[in-house]
Amino acid sequence: MILIHRVLHHTSSRIVGWVSAAKAPQFLVQRMIRWFASTYKINLDEATQPLSEYPSLGAFFTREIRSECRPISSATVVSPTDGEVISAGYVSDGMMVQVKGSTYSVASLLGGSRTSYHSFATIYLSPKDCHRIFAPVQGQIVSTRLIPGCLYPVRQKQLRAIPHLYCKNERLVSIISVTGGHQVALVAVGALNVGSMSTTFDRDQLPVAINPGDWIKTFHLGSTVVILDTRKLALPALGPIQYGETLFE
């Protein structure tokens, strides 16, 4: 059954990915983008380019945001993405909360880990959000790997119904070394219709130095980011957040 779901979800995601990346006649592209922006109430004033400059819906989906619209906080850890904080807490016996009453393993999420993480937060990206992912701390990305998996939807209904969903979906895991011997894990979790995740750096030429707010990854549609820190930090409130805002104090 899992294999059937995986085939169906990957096929669906490829089709949606093809549609979003297709460079149709410009008037059709503009209609799709305007419909998308209107439907999801996207603030077009934040984008660095006018709508006429986007060659596809996918290009608009991964649009660049004007820097003055996203000032970078001086917090210990800043949000790596726009979205909604749907879960935050402290790791207990190697487990994190997926939704109330449902937990999953840090080691399973990361594809194996001996590091003791303490603080975590989960950020869900809706279609209206900027789907670039940014550095949450100053440090070095020391490893990044893609862990194959399913592409289950990551909405609340599925999170409640499918145990360990984040550990079953495809994910792109980056480990960041932070000054002082601390470590941050940044996990981009794939989902239905999110068949592609990319990095702005060469994964074969690590480590790479980063500063808070540096663009490091992209969802080519949308999904979820899970961030973990080896420090026990003050947790964020649940709700909307933008990249660069305070996540952990």
Q: Are residues 53 and 75 in the same domain?
A: no
Q: Are residues 38 and 78 in the same domain?
A: no
Q: What count of Cα atoms within 13 Å lies in the side-chain half-sphere of residue 100?
A: 0
Position 109, amino acid: L
Q: Which residue, of 17, 40, 67, is where some domain finishes?
A: 67
Domain that holds residue 137: 71-248
Confidence grade of residue 4 (pLDDT, cut at 50, 70, 90): very low
182-222 pLDDT, tens digit each: 999 999 998 875 557 889 999 999 999 999 999 999 988 66
| C-alpha closest to that of 133 among 204, 64, 55 | 64
Residue located via tokens 């002082």: 180
In the chain, the number of structural domains is 2
DSSP string, 25-39: -HHHHHHHHHHHHHH
Q: How far out from the chain centre does Cα 194 lie?
A: 11
d(CA 9, CA 151): 6
111-168 pLDDT, tens digit each: 998 899 999 999 999 888 999 999 999 999 999 999 998 888 877 778 888 888 888 8
Q: Are residues 91 and 50 in the same domain?
A: no
**Which SS3 state, helix, strand or coil, does residue 137 take?**
coil
